[in-house]
Amino acid sequence: MQFDVRRLDIYRKVPKDLTQPTFTGAAISICSILFIIFLFVSEFMLYITVEINSELTVEDPVRHSEKIPVFINITLPKLGCEYVGLDIQDDMGRHEVGFRDNTQKIAVGEGGCRFESHFLINKVPGNFHVSTHSAESQPRQPDMTHFIHKLRFGMDLQEGKYIKGSFNSLENVDKTKSKDLATHDYIVKVVPTVYEDIKGGVRYPYQYTYSYREVIQFHHGGQAMPAIWFRYDLSPITVRHKERRKPFYTFLTTVCAIIGGTFTVAGILDSFIFSAAEIFKKAELGKLS
């Protein structure tokens, strides 16, 4: 006896002349297809969305370097560029007055200055401050009111990243309405951060938080010259962020569940409605026993 491979077919076909189409079935079919399309699109959007996994570790993420790059962009609307300078100090004994490398001063308004600088700091507590200490002559009325456009530690995180964090906490901080003779003191806590994108590229931005105080300082000779201080300290905790996307097989599994589940539920609903309609018709004709 010859074996017929068609016996293995678990999807047996019913001739069309043995089936009965109904308006209810058509409506349920259309709704089912629309529902499947909606769930499919939603699941596909979820599949292509990049997720961020975060964890905390105790390590130095950039072991090959003992320096941290810093970028500052700040405007002092009431202090001339000839007076503005940057001083850097830390606990390793560094004391640099009037840092000039990678520094740019742009005159703005009437007697104001926009100050930009790239520089490196050691991985120890310290400070850098914008002041008039390096100027050849001191202004009569030193006014350190300012507007911070950007203060960044470490690498710049590329635009379009999916993570939100305190990578530029001082952005758009406005102290232009402060007292003109006041010293501005920012206490900054720097947190090392590692960001690995979906392609395996690694960047090392630094997040930071800050507290602020405004004081008018005096010494034995009278009032001290005001300045804008950024006193920083590094956290021993490193935050690691890694981009990931759901595996493709989970997407396929979900799609199959959506299609199969929808058709199964729709078939049960259609059968229930059809059976209820048949019982109602028989009851109207008095054939219901």
pLDDT in tens, the chain (289 residues): 567 777 776 777 777 776 777 788 888 888 989 999 999 999 888 888 777 777 878 877 777 678 899 999 999 999 999 999 999 999 999 999 999 999 999 999 888 999 999 999 999 999 999 999 888 888 888 899 999 999 999 888 765 455 666 788 899 999 999 988 899 999 999 998 888 888 878 888 889 999 999 988 766 555 678 999 999 999 988 888 888 888 888 888 988 998 888 888 888 888 888 778 777 777 777 665 5
CA distance 158 to 34: 39
pLDDT of residue 1: 56
- Amino acid identity of residue 182, one-letter, is A
- Predicted pLDDT of residue 165: 62
Could you give the 3-state DSSP secondary structure of residue 113? strand
pLDDT of residue 164: 61
Torsion angle defined by CA atoms of residues 110, 178, 87 and 103, in that order, rounded to the nearest 10 degrees: -40
Residue extents of the structural domains in the chain = 23-50+245-267, 55-244
Encode pLDDT of 228-256 as tens digits: 999 999 998 888 888 888 888 888 898 89
Helix (H, G, I), strand (E, B) or coil at 266: helix
* Residue 278: Cβ within 10 Å count: 10
- Provide the pLDDT for residue 223: 65
- Two tokens, residue 78: 């009431």
What per-residue confidence (pLDDT) applies to 237?
87
Q: Which residues contact 224 (CB under 8 A, 6 or more apart)?
A: 183, 217, 218
Phi, psi (degrees; rounded to nearest 5) at 89: -135, 155
Closest CA to 161 of 52, 45, 240: 52
- Nearest alpha-carbon partner for 43 in 194, 213, 261, 235: 261
Region for residue 85 given its phi and psi (left: phi exceeds 0; alpha: psi -120 to 50; beta: otherwise): beta
Residue partners of 80: CB distance under 8 A and separation at least 6: 107, 111, 112, 113, 139
CA-to-CA distance for 126 and 234, rounded, in angstroms?
10
CA distance 13 to 286: 35
Residue 182 to residue 145: CA distance in whole angstroms: 8
Nearest to 157 by CA among 65, 241, 233: 241
Q: Which two tokens stand for residue 195?
A: 């960001």
